[in-house]
Homo-oligomer: A and B are copies of this chain.
Amino acid sequence: MVGRPGIKEVAAASGVSIKTVSRVVNGESSVRPATRSRVRAAIDELGYIPNTAARSLKSGTGRVIGIVIDSLADPFFAALVSAIERRALGEGLGIVVASTGQDVDREREQLLLLLSGHRAAGVIFAPVTDSHPYLQAYRESTPIVAVDRAHPDFDSVVVDDFEATRTAIGQLVNNGHRRIAFLYREQRYGAISRRYSGYLWVLTESGILFDPELVLYDRSGGHDFTDEDYVTEINRLFSLATPPTALFAANMRAAVGIIGALHQARRAGTAMIAFGNVPLAGAFTPAISCINQDPYAIGNAAIERLLALRSTPGESREKPRELVIPTSLIRRGSGEIFGPYHSSRSGEKPTS
């Protein structure tokens, strides 16, 4: 291996001490311009890049932001991380990404590795549970922000799941639907529970009888549904004595599964609204109505909050802030299909 120049080589080349080189690298002001430019020249010529490990070791905090999410294979999280990365780059920070697969133990392991092992300058995570006692030790030294799901102990950036779902289900009811399926009711902590509450709230308000047959539960104990599972489920729903006339997909994975399954079952004309921006939603027949939650906006808000916390350390001890990113219902057609009880008093013209 060719020698990677260190701070000493730069110091020697520019005729100053290593401390002065350090000052230049860290942008400290107390360096004479002439000295500074001499050092800069040496840095460029030698191609000097400071060793991150040594910096972390000495200074106590690493030059990276840790990100812990469910999975990068989920387009929502991928876009979220992408937004964070862009901003972090501007701050000269790297990102180290870890996924949990929604596993609580893996979450703890990854968070601790990031905080204690990598001495991350900050951590953004999508909490799998709402109890993280082991994080308390790091609160005061490291900014920690939760995303996608609110957290009792940390600042968080979320969307208003309850309200968004209430709006969506409300529109379906207004358009004459009474049999509305909810797919799916995840058992774990998180956004899905609040979406489910929004669903139940509308049913109650509208005097619609709740039917557990219309809810797809996560009976699998944690593993994700496959496309085939959704086909099975859609077939089950349409075999009911009184099948649903509208579907609500509580997350994007469910939406994708349902769209595919509906298509297979030649039921694509069924009313449906999805939580999350389904890719190519506009190109289906009918086009898919979605609750729009912008992962870029969420990611940006999270990293901004993190950077703000970094400059005002004490603040983290205050009551956690919950930043709610607005959502909107994008009416593309599938959510505006009329149901059997429609009295032509509301809703847009259906597409099919």
Nearest Cβ in chain B — how far from A311, in angstroms? Answer: 17
Residues of B within 8 Å of A96, CB to CB, are 64, 94-97
Q: Which of B49, B53, B81, B256 contacts A279 (CB 8 A)?
A: B256
Indicate how many identical chains form the complex. Answer: 2
- Give the chain B neighbours of A51 by CB distance below 8 A: 57, 116-117, 119
CB atoms of A137 and B82 under 8 A apart? no
Q: Which residue of B lies closest to A287 (CB)?
A: B263
Residues of B within 8 A of A86 (CB): 99
Q: Do A73 and B79 touch (CB < 8 A)?
A: yes
- What is the interface residue range for chain A against chain B? 35 or more
Tell me the chain A residues, 21-73 only, with Cβ under 8 Å from chain B. Answer: 47, 49-57, 62-64, 71-73
Q: Are A260 and B280 in contact (CB under 8 A)?
A: yes
Contact A72 B62 (CB under 8 A): no
Tell me if A308 counts as interface (CB < 8 A to partner B): no
Is A341 interfacial (CB 8 A cutoff)? no
Q: How far is A63 from B79 in the complex, measured between Cα atoms in Å?
A: 25
Instruction: Let me know if A75 is at the binding interface, CB within 8 A.
Output: yes
Is A285 an interface position by the 8 A CB rule?
Answer: yes
Question: When chains A and B are docked, how far (Å) is the Cα of A94 from the Cα of B114?
Answer: 9
Contact of A283 among B94, B137, B263 (CB under 8 A): B263
Q: Find out whether the CB atom of B85 lies under 8 angstroms from the CB atom of A97.
A: yes
Name the residue on B nearest A64 (C-beta): B96
* B-contacting residues, A266-290, CB 8 Å: 268, 278-280, 282-285
Residue of A47, A95, A117, A284 most packed against chain B (CB within 10 A): A117
Give Cα distance in the complex from A262 to B285, angstroms.
13
User: Which residue of B is nearest A141, CB measured?
Assistant: B1
A112: chain B residues at CB < 8 Å are 47, 49
- Interface flags for A103-132 (1: CB within 8 Å of B; 0: not) read 000000000111011110000000000000
Instruction: State in angstroms the CA–CA spacing of A285 and B259 once bound together.
Output: 12
Q: List 12 A-B contacts (CB under 8 A).
A: A49-B113, A49-B116, A52-B117, A53-B53, A53-B55, A53-B57, A57-B57, A75-B279, A82-B99, A259-B280, A264-B282, A284-B284
Q: Give me the 3 closest cross-chain CB pairs, A-B, nearest first.
A: A78-B78, A53-B56, A1-B141
Task: Spell out A's residues near B (CB within 8 Å).
Answer: 1-2, 4, 47, 49-57, 62-64, 71-73, 75, 78-79, 81-82, 85-86, 89, 94-99, 112-114, 116-119, 134, 136-138, 140-141, 256, 259-260, 262-264, 268, 278-280, 282-285
